Amino acid sequence: MFYPELTHAIEEFAAVILPVSERDLERQWTWKDHDEEGIRFAFFVTLQELRQLAVNLFTVRMQTTQAHWILSRYHSQYIDLQASILGLTSENSEREPAKGEWSVRRVYAHILTTEINFTATVRYALEKHRAGVWTPERMSDEDDVRLTGLNEEEYQKLAYGPLEGMLAYHRGLHSIVIQEFSAITDEELDLPSTFWEETRFPIRHRLHRFEAHLVQHTVQIDKTLVMLGLAPGEPQRLIRYTYSALADAENMMIGQVPVNPMIEATANSIKARTNEIRELLRM
């Protein structure tokens, strides 16, 4: 659904820029008539390209459903979470900011395992409703294993494993959720679903929970990093805005087939800029 080359272009751009100092951002770099703001200006050129790509993609979108819009908010927050921990070492992810406070790795484990359960809950409701056999009972343990694809041992290994493993698993799960749930119709959003609560919330509530839960714990991670003395500097803050712009462009691809030369052109432009800055930083 998304265009991997565009995602990789931004990830490469971030990897080159993330380690630089704020002083390095002042190094001479020229883009057309702009020659006074140094490498820093590369962020704003990239930001504008991504924003314009989102506008262009919006103009050629086919039908948009409510599920597409709800999932786009979730995708934006997922991307923001990834940007918030760029460059975080495995060692630092294990550090507790204070006695009894959760490390970033532990927060992320909670985020990931909760999303696994959210996904199974929506799948179960859709499966039963589409088969015409929905009842308000909770899913069985067997259905939970079937719908998550994880037995208890695998679930625990993932939850207590290193951050790198969770990030890789989450990347795949996130892509599947966007692809799979983008097919939910407006009518299906109002159908009831069963999780741990007594209330049988509609499926639309479950989809909104993906974003809301990420917001809650991205803020927690931001606070944890500050407590650890790892507050973001200017490069990290600028990269986070760039990732936000990437999310906006990718949101226009949800429910669509992203075979579009304008996406490739934007990815190539960003790659060329990244290579230019990489060479400049080596001098």
Q: How far apart are CA 80 and CA 239, in angstroms?
A: 10
Spatial contact of 92 and 105, defined as CB atoms under 8 Å apart: no
Count of structural domains within the chain: 2
> What average pLDDT does the segment 228-249 reach?
96
188 and 279 in one domain?
no
**Residues paired with residue 202 on neighbouring β-strands, in sequence order:** 192
For 90-121, the pLDDT digits (tens) are: 999 999 999 999 999 999 999 999 999 999 99
81 and 53 in one domain?
yes
Q: How far apart are CA 38 and CA 20, in angstroms?
A: 13
193 and 76 in one domain?
no
Spatial contact of 262 and 53, defined as CB atoms under 8 Å apart: yes
Q: At 195, which CATH number?
A: 1.20.120
For 253-265, the pLDDT digits (tens) are: 999 876 689 999 9
Provide the pLDDT for residue 282: 87
- Residue keyed to tokens 């070492």: 89
Spatial contact of 54 and 258, defined as CB atoms under 8 Å apart: no
Helix (H, G, I), strand (E, B) or coil at 73: helix
268 and 142 in one domain?
no
Spatial contact of 247 and 178, defined as CB atoms under 8 Å apart: no
216 and 106 in one domain?
yes
Q: How far apart are CA 201 and CA 216, in angstroms?
A: 20
104 and 184 in one domain?
yes
The total of other beta-carbon atoms located within 10 Å of residue 141's CB is 10
The model carries a pTM of: 0.94
Residue 27 pLDDT level (bands cut at 50, 70, 90):
very high
Spatial contact of 228 and 98, defined as CB atoms under 8 Å apart: no
The total of other beta-carbon atoms located within 10 Å of residue 29's CB is 20
216 and 110 in one domain?
yes
Of 9-23, 43-57, 247-261, the range with the lowest mean pLDDT is 247-261
Spatial contact of 193 and 125, defined as CB atoms under 8 Å apart: yes
Residue 283 pLDDT level (bands cut at 50, 70, 90):
low
Q: How far apart are CA 143 and CA 120, in angstroms?
A: 9
153 and 57 in one domain?
no
223 and 111 in one domain?
yes
256 and 209 in one domain?
no
Would the pLDDT of 148 be above 80?
Answer: yes
221 and 251 in one domain?
no
> What average pLDDT does the segment 219-231 reach?
97
Would the pLDDT of 35 be above 90?
Answer: no
Provide the pLDDT for residue 57: 92
| CA atoms in the 13 A half-sphere facing the CB of 206 | 31
Provide the pLDDT for residue 61: 86
155 and 200 in one domain?
yes
The total of other beta-carbon atoms located within 10 Å of residue 131's CB is 8
Spatial contact of 246 and 50, defined as CB atoms under 8 Å apart: yes
Q: How far apart are CA 205 and CA 185, in angstroms?
A: 14
Spatial contact of 107 and 225, defined as CB atoms under 8 Å apart: no
| CA atoms in the 13 A half-sphere facing the CB of 64 | 14
For 182-213, the pLDDT digits (tens) are: 999 999 999 999 999 999 999 999 999 999 99
Would the pLDDT of 231 be above 70?
Answer: yes
Provide the pLDDT for residue 42: 96
Provide the pLDDT for residue 185: 97
**Which domain covers residue 52, as residue numbers?**
1-88+234-283
